[in-house]
Amino acid sequence: MSLAIKDDEVDIVIGALRSDLTTFMNEWRPMFSRFHLIIVKDPDLKEELKIPEGFNLDVYGKPDIDQVVGSSTSILFSGYSCRYFGYLVSRKKYIISVDDDCLPARDPKGFLVDAVAQHIRNLTNPATPFFFNTLYDPYAEGADFVRGYPFSLRGGVKCALSCGLWLNLADHDAPTQALKARQRNSRYVDAVMTVPAGSLIPISGINIAFEREAVGPALVPALKLAGEGKCRWETMEDIWSGLCVKVVCDHLGLGVKTGLPYIWRTDRGDPIASLKKEWEGVKLMEEVIPFFQSVRLPREATTVEECIVEVANAVKERLGSMDPVFARASKAMLDWIKLWQSVGSSSSRSSAV
């Protein structure tokens, strides 16, 4: 699949939670080797990283994070949240991020899936959030708009975020995975669709891509559970971040897509053990979702930074008294915007905070 972009417009950001990345990097070599990589080592990881040669990359560790953002703020970047430091220091137009326990998938015909190319295709083609096309992505090869689709909406809008899916180990929560311990996802659905405006989506950080200037500040490492661990089952940061992004995209008239590309997710962790840690997050979601469904941003909020500040203030006002985790999330969101304005962007200087 040919890309309608230049190689130097893409950063691939990898959060390293394991020290030996040899197999991961070699399996992804056909897709990654032409692009620049940013590898961010989890500040809690003590071992040295093992990375094979032959890649154009920069590696960041705890000293680098402390130097750029200060040791008091670097807690934002522990565990799976270390990848967000890569989002912060990147200067490329597009960012693609894949968890380090994922490998390239194969389609039903046995061909290797180029996840990078598919993500870029999703981002460079318009999204259609204001009217659902029953043939899914109308810009895909062999597809089009169906009868009755308004011609005035067929130009679509900018797609700011692409959310890929997973074969083998799907991104279930700990209760579901514990109940269905042997269940594996083998369904490969050859489709991409735009998530309708006004609909929320549990965005997984395992396999995503986004246009950095369009929504980068909205991908915020804010919600940290008290017992957060090193398995996806034990975290909620990407879910919270995804809800923020979707609300901002809806407000600013941007699109979010889900579907292709698939990656192969390897087994990792014990869902029974993780259940005790994630149960806090499962309960919190019952408060979180009604909040995001009802939050409305003012017309005066015209930048991503301003939108996130408005969401952070609403979190503090409406959720802050329910649980300390929300007050901390609100503060982390404001800290993140200050970081983005001072470190993350030379072109997005606003006085939102």
Q: Give the number of other Cβ atoms within 10 Å of residue 23's Cβ.
A: 14
Give the C-alpha distances (Å, rounded to integers) separating 136 from 3, 145, 194, 195: 21, 9, 7, 10
At residue 112, does pLDDT exceed 50? yes
What is the reported pLDDT for 35?
A: 97
Q: Distance between CA atoms of 259 and 316, rounded to whole angstroms?
A: 33
Per the CB < 8 A criterion, the answer to whether 26 and 54 are in contact is: no
pLDDT tens by residue, 145-195: 999 999 999 999 999 999 999 999 999 887 888 888 889 999 999 999 999
Q: Distance between CA atoms of 341 and 220, rounded to whole angstroms?
A: 13
Q: 233 falls in which pLDDT band (50, 70, 90)? A: low
Q: Distance between CA atoms of 18 and 81, rounded to whole angstroms?
A: 14
Q: Distance between CA atoms of 135 and 56, rounded to whole angstroms?
A: 39
- Which residues are bridge partners to 265 per DSSP? 102, 168
At residue 348, does pLDDT exceed 50? no
Supply the pTM of this predicted model.
0.93
User: Average of pLDDT values for 37-41?
Assistant: 98
pLDDT tens by residue, 188-200: 999 999 999 999 9
Q: Distance between CA atoms of 267 and 102, rounded to whole angstroms?
A: 9
Give the domain ranges of the chain. 10-351
What is the reported pLDDT for 352?
A: 42
If one looks up domain 10-351 in CATH, what number appears? 3.90.550
At residue 350, does pLDDT exceed 80? no
Per the CB < 8 A criterion, the answer to whether 136 and 193 are in contact is: yes
Structure tokens at 125: 């083609």
Per the CB < 8 A criterion, the answer to whether 245 and 201 are in contact is: no
Q: Give the number of other Cβ atoms within 10 Å of residue 51's Cβ.
A: 19
Share of the chain above pLDDT 90, in %: 77
At residue 46, does pLDDT exceed 90? yes
What is the reported pLDDT for 229?
A: 67
Q: Which of 233-242, 249-258, 336-345 is modeled with the greatest confidence?
A: 249-258
Q: 351 falls in which pLDDT band (50, 70, 90)? A: very low
Q: Distance between CA atoms of 91 and 148, rounded to whole angstroms?
A: 41
- Supply the angle between the helices 115-124 and 22-32 in degrees, to the nearest 10: 50
Average pLDDT of the chain is: 91
DSSP sequence for 154-185: TT-B-EEEEEEEEEES----HHHHHHTTT--B
